[in-house]
Homo-oligomer: A and B are copies of this chain.
Amino acid sequence: MTEIASLGEFGLIDRLTDGIELANQSSLKGVGDDAAVLEYHETEVLVTTDLLLEGVHFDLTYVPLKHLGYKSAVVNFSDVYAMNGTPRQITVSLGISKRFTVEHIEALYSGIRHACEIYGVDLVGGDTTSSRQGLVISVTCIGDAPKDKIVYRNGAKDTDLICVSGDLGAAYMGLQLLEREKIASVGQKDFIPKFEGKEYLIERQLKPEARKDIIAELDQAGIKPTAMMDISDGLSSELLHICKQSHTGCRIYEDRIPIDYQTAVMAEELGMNLVTAALNGGEDYELLFTVPLHDHEKVSKLPGVKVIGHITKESLGCAMITRDNTEIELKAQGWNPLAQK
Residues of A within 8 A of B (CB): 3-5, 7-9, 12, 28-29, 32-42, 44-51, 53-57, 79-80, 82-83, 85, 89, 91, 93-96, 98, 124-134, 136, 138, 140-143, 147, 150, 152-154, 228-230, 245, 336-341
For the complex with contacts A37-B46, A39-B45, 8 further pairs of A-B residues with Cβ separation under 8 Å are: A4-B340, A9-B337, A33-B83, A35-B46, A35-B48, A45-B142, A55-B132, A98-B340
In contact, B47 and A140 (Cβ under 8 angstroms): yes
Given contact pairs A34-B153, A80-B34, A130 touches B48 in the complex (Cβ within 8 A): no
Selected from B35, B228, B341, the residue in CB contact (under 8 A) with A143 is: B35
Of B126, B338, B340, which is within 8 A of A49 by CB? B126
The reply to whether A129 and B34 form a contact with Cβ atoms under 8 Å apart is no
Is A130 a contact partner of B49 (Cβ separation < 8 A)? Answer: no
Among all A-B residue pairs, the 6 with the closest Cβ atoms: A133-B133, A138-B138, A35-B48, A55-B132, A51-B93, A129-B337
CB distance from A36 to the nearest CB of B (A): 5
Contact between A338 and B129, CB atoms less than 8 A apart: yes
Distance, CA A222 to CA B35, complexed state (A): 23
B136 touches A95 (CB 8 A): yes
